[in-house]
Chains A and B, each alone.
Chain A
Amino acid sequence: MSLPKPDELLTDVNLYKTPEKDWMDIKPELKRGIYCGIVEPNIMEDLGLPSFGKWQVSDEKWPLPENWKEIVKEEILRRMEMHRSFKLFMDICVRCGACADKCHFFLGTGDPKNMPVLRAELIRSIIKGEFSTFGKLFGKFAGARELTEDVIKEWFYYFYQCTECRRCSVFCPYGIDTAEITIMGREILHKLGIATDWAMKPVHNSYFVGNHVGVPPQSFKENLEFLTWEFEEITGIHIDLDKYINRKGAEIMFVPLSGDYFADPGIYTMLGYLVLFHYLDLDVTMSPFASEGGNFGYFNSLEVAKRLHAKVYEEAKRLKVKWILGGECGHMWRVWNQYHNTWFGPIDFLEVPKSPITGTVFEHAKSNKIVHIIEFTADLIAHNKLKLDPSRNDHVIVTFHDSCNPARALGIFEEPRFILRHVCNNFVEMPENTIREKTFCCGSGAGLNAGENLELRQRGGFPRANAVEYVHKKYGVNQLVCICAIDRAVFPTLLQYWVPGVEVSGVHELVANALVFEGEKSRTEDLRRRPLKHPVKGVDQPTEGEEG
């Protein structure tokens, strides 16, 4: 199936025209290119999760358990009893429509059911129709409808067209968070054995092998070796990996993202972390079992998310470290910031994080003992502990993409910008309405970064890409910097489609490239072997002029 050309993809999008029929009367038409495939039964069974056979989304009849209606109703009620958020958000929406054009999927598809308000109505209407006397009495007039098999198909289709990015919740006058609703919707589907292959296989991998991509310990090490060899070839600096893997008694445990040691261009960010550790001679180690900070479980159910991340603290305990440092990732940081401490606390077997280099005590992380590497590095730079030469990044003009969850579930805005201003000379911002808390999703988060739904991804990523195109044309931006591993995995595809000529990297790749090492040798290339604008003169080539 081929994707239309960029100029043609959005021709069917009209943000002002709505269908003739009422949305309740439109039967879900599940289009290829929009949805992901269904998970294999054995993946679910290995994890003990419900599964009702092997089937396809395109099948007319989905293999629902006989009492599926009772299950759905029971699960809705249970979640309303468990989560005030869900109960309240189902009750108080006034359908003011402020959220409507805030969703990147609505902007890229024009499908009214992608307006966050209608996404929520998909469940709200069932609650009214099945549980409320008012709803039963007035039906469609009051926004109520009956639960049918088509509703299940519709839920599947639209709850997997939401990346839980929370942009709508910024604009909602009551703070209604569609992520909460999507989470509940997916949880209920999970109960019926409905899950996507792309969101569940990584869970299986992470659970049994330690990371989403299923890299076993020996390959984990090999991948890192490959990176450090490359680095040695470029700079002549040798990084000894042994102490960074499964060493007991280190001060810090670092948790990387599998996307960053699996594929280009994330690998350069991973290299960036290692180079920084080496530069500082940091007493840090990684667990090959807890080699995944991200959490695809979160895209299936909160319970699976917790089952996956138990290992982060278990491993910190086993390796007898003092505190935990986490890599640049998006949803990971929502989970680490908003759930970890509740799930696994009190974390009394670790110490309050303190930078061994600057002595800074990370008071804001004193309870769950987890520090973001961006915070750690920003602190280093603020204390002048890194010798940086920003001109080594003069070959790039960068812009910064606020990844959804670090922005809207953490608020890490200034730290990465502070670092960027110190490691490169050309940093420009995208338009104000598309950054910080108003940032746009890459369109592929929350388990949607598959191949079979590429059309949806390109549509959903369009608002972000459009803002990148703006700075690309205006300022010549040629590199998008982000702090999310999914971003690094999906942006190359997105930008190649919408804005060719813009590459993607993490912050720490730029940090490492700007680091000035004692006794380093000359080099003419950056960490990914692109020519530098100003070649680095090392000890092998004594400086004569004023170059630098």
Chain B
Amino acid sequence: MNALVSFIIFGILVAIPWFGVRVLGWESLFGIVIPYVCFLVFVIGLIYRIIDWAKSPVPYKIPTTCGQQKSLSWIKRSLRDRLENPFTTWEVVLRMFFEVVFFRSLFRNLRADLQGKRLIYGSAKWLWLGAILFHWSFFIILLRHIRLFTNPVPEIIQGLDYLDSFIQSFGVPPIYITDILILAGLTFLLLRRLIDSKVSYLSYGSDFFPLFLLLGIGITGVLMRYYFKVDLYAVKQLTLGLATFHPTIPEGAKIGTIFYIHLFLVSTLAAYFPFSKLVHMVGVFFSVTRNMPNNNRAVRYVNPWEYPVKHYTYYEYQERFKDKMIEAGIPIDEEVQPEEEHEWYSLYIVGSKLPPKIKS
């Protein structure tokens, strides 16, 4: 049901540029205005999210440790331990690197099966594989697209293009490997969401939507290259115009509606990105269970809003149990004095003052 609604919304999104360009002939709107607006929303939205996270305080150093801690000098810590339970900043950087670039945690994935009264754990790397195929292909495809926005095209991008298409087919043009892989990855991720009962149960419409959007972008892209054969020269005129802030719709050229659909879906994705779960791309860098070292006992971490709390004192305790302690032969502390009143705050104690640095 969720998937169906998502697909319908996606269908409408495909129909809009088709109708707009094919029927109404609003090339400028779909080729210039919408891409600019959406890109702006993307940039501003993402910056807003980053600032919003960056300025929210991190009160405690709470890494999730997945390897041997650094403690006694003779306890050997393997490279894996150092990456999974970092003590130094460098180790944290490496942990984050493996997390972001190779999806380390996802690689750990297991599946649990209950067979009668026995739990069996098996390796479950498919999700990792699907995710890595999609994300890496998407990244490379984005890089490849730089050729549409630069003139001359940087050599490194040309090289990437060459590498990606090294499988020369008989048909022209050569097939990009990433085109195949991204569609395979996305299809897997979509099927998994539809077929795996648990994942399907916890999926919202908004979980299917980006998959449809990305598949739509991928498929229109592939169609443009291998099937409809849009006028690449005209496309580059348009995209280069966008990039150099001299936007034009090439006169009389046959760019084809499919290009506008592709561009509109990309624009939608960009505008949707900062306000959806897709921000995990940036969010992962802020993850406090991954980006902090496990060195609390060696290096003190300061909480910007820490506040003194009300607590019970030994003096009160000893006053209460003095006789019993004497009777039991437990030494009494003769020097202890009632503690001076100290300022304290509370989020819970009825009628107390809220901590000053915390908004009411």
Which A residues have a C-beta under 8 Å from some C-beta of B? Answer: 6-7, 10, 13-19, 23, 47-50, 78, 80-85, 87-88, 91-98, 100-102, 107, 112, 115, 117-118, 121, 134, 138, 140-143, 166, 169-177, 180, 187, 190-191, 207-210, 216-218, 221-222, 242, 245-248, 287-289, 301, 303-304, 306-308, 310-311, 314-315, 318, 337-343, 345-346, 360, 362-368, 370, 375, 378-379, 382, 407-415, 418, 431, 433-434, 437-438, 462-463, 466-467
Give chain B residues whose Cβ lies under 8 Å from the Cβ of A172: 105
List, in ascending order, chain A residues with CB within 8 A of B61's CB.
338, 342
In the assembled complex, the Cα of A42 lies from the Cα of B299 at a distance in Å of 40
Give 21 pairs: A residue, B residue, CB < 8 Å, sorted on A.
A15-B114, A16-B197, A49-B348, A84-B288, A85-B289, A88-B287, A91-B277, A92-B283, A94-B207, A98-B127, A101-B111, A117-B202, A171-B106, A175-B289, A176-B289, A247-B331, A314-B314, A341-B301, A364-B70, A378-B75, A431-B121
Residue of A nearest to B5 (CB): A141
- For B114, B300, B318, B331, which residue has the most chain A Cβ atoms within 10 angstroms? B114
Chain B's closest residue to A346 (CB) is B300
Whether B290 is near chain A, meaning CB under 8 Å from some CB there, is: yes
The proximity string for B residues 66-78 relative to A, scoring 1 for CB distances below 8 Å and 0 otherwise, is 1111111111100
- Chain B positions 168 through 202: 1 when the CB is less than 8 Å from some CB of chain A, otherwise 0: 00000000000000000000000000001111111
On whether the beta carbons of A96 and B333 are closer than 8 Å, the reply is: no
Is the beta-carbon distance between A411 and B283 smaller than 8 angstroms? Answer: no
Of residues 50 through 73 on chain B, the ones whose CB sits less than 8 Å from some CB of chain A are 52-53, 56-73
Specify the main secondary structure of chain A where it touches its partner: helix
A-B contact count (CB 8 A): 355
- Tell me if B312 and A48 are in contact (CB < 8 A): no
Complex Cα spacing A78 to B359, Å: 7
Q: Which residues of B contact A (CB under 8 A)?
A: 2, 5-6, 49, 52-53, 56-76, 81, 84-85, 87, 99, 103, 105-106, 108-114, 117-119, 121, 127, 131, 196-207, 275, 277, 279-280, 283-284, 286-290, 294-303, 305-306, 309-314, 317-318, 320-321, 324-325, 327-331, 333, 336, 346-350, 352, 358-359
Would A100 and B199 count as touching, CB distance under 8 A?
Answer: yes
Nearest residue (CB) in B for A24 is B204
Contact call B352/A88, Cβ cutoff below 8 A = no
CB-defined contacts of A92 to chain B, threshold 8 Å:
277, 279-280, 283-284, 287
A365 to chain B: which residues have CB within 8 Å?
297-298
- Flag if A208 contacts B53 (CB, 8 Å): no
Q: How many angstroms from the CA of A411 to the CA of B206 in the assembled complex?
A: 37
The contact of B296 among A310, A368, A463, A467, by CB within 8 Å, is A368
Which A-chain residue is minimally distant from B314 (CB atoms)?
A289
**How close is B353's CB to chain A, nearest CB, in angstroms?**
12
Contacts A91-B279, A364-B71 given; indicate if A100 touches B198 (C-beta within 8 A).
Answer: yes
Query: Could you tell me if A289 and B75 are in contact, using CB atoms closer than 8 angstroms?
Result: no
Q: Is the CB of A142 within 8 A of B206?
A: yes
Complexed CA–CA distance, A72 and B306 (Å) = 22
Taking A100-B198, A245-B330 as known contacts, 11 extra A-B pairs with beta carbons closer than 8 A to each other, sorted by chain A number, are: A49-B348, A49-B350, A93-B277, A187-B347, A307-B309, A370-B297, A375-B72, A379-B72, A408-B66, A418-B75, A434-B121
Return chain A residues, CB-CB under 8 Å to B49.
91
With beta carbons under 8 angstroms apart, the residue of B284, B298, B314 that contacts A366 is B298
Is A48 touching B310 in the complex (CB atoms < 8 A)? yes
